A and B are shown apart, each in its own frame.
Chain A
Amino acid sequence: MAAVTVGPPPARRRGRRHLPVWHVLWIIVAGAYFLVPIISLVQFSFGGLVNGHSAGFHWYATVFADPNFRSSFWLSVQIAIETVVLSNLLLIPTTFWIHLRLPRLRPVMDFVSVLPFVVPPIVLIVGLIPFLTPFTFLYSRPEVLAFIYVVFALPFLYRSLDAGLRAINLRTLAEASANCGGSTWSTLVRVVLPNLRSAVIVGSFLTVAIAMGEFTISSLLSFNTFPVYLFNIGQTTGNEAAALSVISLLLTWALMVSLYLVGRGGRTTAQVAATR
């Protein structure tokens, strides 16, 4: 909405107009809505009584001492890394190829990148369980989660790569590279990838966020990932769960800040589907 001067300015003729009061009010209310739950969480994480004293960092200490915390966290990290590697291995060459040789497939890819929304995790798992059960080698290991997460990370990674490729005018670069004698492979590795660095990093960070926060599939397949662990703790100790959540939140923030810093040149799409 472009606000336009269509009425006489307030007292002075000079001076900029200020944001209308109710807009400011709004921002304050919205700010409160977003901050209060976090503050409550933090409060809970320091709350309660332990042996008659106030808890202080007790819950945090408990969390860090819990071996399950470390193992579940480590598991989530591993899976996240695997997801990132897998999805990039799959998507970078494919997106590159499509942009280069099969531009007519771009609308198809746009459609494909919407498919994971039509089949959300809770629905997909219903179909995956009977389908994957025969593949016991894969199915019994947590690595299967990485393979599944790739599907849900796809829209975000693809969109990031697509935007990145569009921004560098791939066609011209590829032809220039060919003109200088480069093969397609060397074009990909030496010309495109360095220019895609930002898009890959942004997309990968989103993938990590999805993978580390995913609960639905990992819980229904009974893997002890970090969100599952978090949930289990929450069933018993409210304060400890609060402390864990604060830790989780801090990690998300760190991730987002890094994302912001890295992706500052380009655009950041920052939505997550799978954690809901």
Chain B
Amino acid sequence: METAQAPGAVRSDAPATTGAGARAVRWRPGGLRWLGVVPLTAYLAFFLIIPAGELVVDAFRTPNGAFTLGNVSTIFQAQYLSSFGASLELSALAALLGGVLGLLAASAIVHPSAPRLIRSSVTTFSGMAANFAGVPLAFAFTSTLGATGVITVAFRHAGISLAAINPNATTLGLALVYNYFEFPLMLLLLVPALDGLKREWREAAANLGAGGFTYWRTVAFPILLPSLLGAMVLLFGGAFSAYATAYALSGSTGNLVTELIGNLTNGNITVDPQLAYALAFGMMIIITLLMVVYYLLQRRASRWLR
């Protein structure tokens, strides 16, 4: 029947629309529901999946269209490998930096003695800091730690050279800049994990004879480790994929994979498309690996921190 009594026969299909008119409510069998996701699927196919797919395919094709492993093997040449090395090194540094600092900060704000205000303001600020990334961030750090930066100049007066952390020139400097968005991300990821540490564990450990440090070493840290590592994997991925900040800091002299790809693609003229495809493909492989690792770590974390 077509009246509002239909819900009595509730199944997984909610009533379908009948178009004009407010009255009629009819039950439709399964198949047509799938139409609902067609727009999104088509959109993503067009703007994400097909371009990405073509890129992967083209990484194995010569300009004439023949199959080749040549493109991919090119990136194993020393100069490109060093580029990947530089990117991986930077990402590891940024992930480590953001990871450790984020952990310290997160444990501070999760502490029950911390005023309520700290927690919410830090969380909001983290959101803000994470959004500051890109060109403005690069300029901010140039103004701070660059050759004529405020801090650099101040330290020079004191006789200390800060060349080692010049963001325009050194990996460490760049990692420090990346930290600006990595650290808040770590914070936002870790606070829920730290909240998940049950009070009973701390108390039970104490009751059984464990002091603070022993508790952390034997219980809390092992339990947190999957979440911690998972978060650092995300940080790694974020640093690895970053382009704007690095480019704004080192212009066309940068050695990172992303910058390399940028140089090849700039201005609508792809100078060496095969190389660009291969490099991009290489990046995708690495990131996919990271995602798999992340997924596995997440599974373990959610089992323990339920």
Query: A residues touching B (Cβ–Cβ < 8 Å)?
Result: 1-4, 6, 16-20, 23-24, 26-27, 30, 33-34, 36-41, 43-44, 90-91, 93-94, 97-98, 100-103, 105, 112, 114-132, 147-148, 150-151, 154, 171, 174-175, 178-186, 209, 213-216, 219-222, 227, 230-231, 234-235, 238, 241-242, 244-245, 248-249, 252-253, 255-256, 259-260, 268, 270-273, 275-276
How far, in Å, is B17 (CB) from chain A's closest CB? Answer: 4
With contacts A126-B276, A220-B262, A256-B128 taken as known, whether A121 is within 8 angstroms of B243 at the C-beta atoms is yes
Given contacts A126-B265, A270-B188, contact A150 B43 (CB under 8 A): yes
- The answer to whether B36 and A122 have CB atoms under 8 Å apart is no
- B230 close to A (CB within 8 Å): no
Contact between B291 and A117, CB atoms less than 8 A apart: yes
For B101, list chain A residues within 8 Å (CB). 30
State whether A129 touches B265 (Cβ < 8 A): yes
Residue pair A130, B129 in contact (C-beta under 8 Å): no
Q: What are some 20 contacts across the A-B interface (CB < 8 A)?
A: A4-B199, A6-B212, A37-B180, A40-B140, A90-B43, A97-B36, A101-B14, A116-B48, A121-B241, A122-B258, A126-B265, A127-B53, A150-B47, A220-B262, A231-B135, A238-B142, A242-B143, A256-B124, A260-B124, A271-B185
Q: Are B268 and A231 in contact (CB under 8 A)?
A: no
Known: A130-B273, A131-B51, A183-B25. A123 touches B268 (CB 8 A): no
- In the assembled complex, the Cα of A272 lies from the Cα of B128 at a distance in Å of 10
Known: A178-B14, A183-B25. A151 touches B39 (CB 8 A): no
1/0 per residue, CB under 8 A from A, across B261-285: the answer is 1100111101001001101100110
Contact B127 A178 (CB under 8 A): no
Encoded as 1 (CB less than 8 Å from any A CB) or 0, chain B from 22 to 52 comes to: 1111000000011011011001100111111
Given contacts A94-B36, A230-B135, A275-B244, contact A120 B287 (CB under 8 A): yes
Chain B residues near A151 (CB-CB < 8 A): 44, 47-48
Identify A26's interface contact among B108, B125, B273, B284, CB under 8 A.
Answer: B108
| Residues of B contacting A121 in the complex (Cβ-Cβ under 8 angstroms) | 241, 243
Given A91-B40, A123-B55, A38:B140 Cβ within 8 A:
yes
- Known A-B contacts A245-B136, A268-B127, A276-B241; A179 and B7 likewise in contact (beta carbons under 8 Å): yes
Whole-angstrom CA separation of A270 from B187 in the bound complex: 12
Q: Which residue of B lies closest to A221 (CB)?
A: B268
Query: Is A216 a contact of B244 with CB atoms below 8 Å?
Result: yes
Of chain A, the residue at the smallest CB distance from B122 is A27
Q: Are A271 and B203 in contact (CB under 8 A)?
A: no
Q: Is the CB of A94 within 8 A of B37?
A: yes
Decide: A41 near B267, CB < 8 A? Known: A94-B39, A98-B37, A184-B16: no
Task: Kindly identify which residue among A34, A98, A129, A249 contacts B268, using a CB–CB cutoff of 8 Å.
Answer: A129
Question: Is B242 in contact with A27, judged by CB distance below 8 angstroms?
Answer: no
Q: How far is the CB of B241 from chain A (nearest CB, A)?
A: 4
Shortest distance in angstroms between A54's beta carbon and chain B's nearest beta carbon?
Answer: 16
Once A122-B243, A213-B133 are accepted as A-B contacts, the answer to whether A3 and B17 lie under 8 Å apart by CB is no
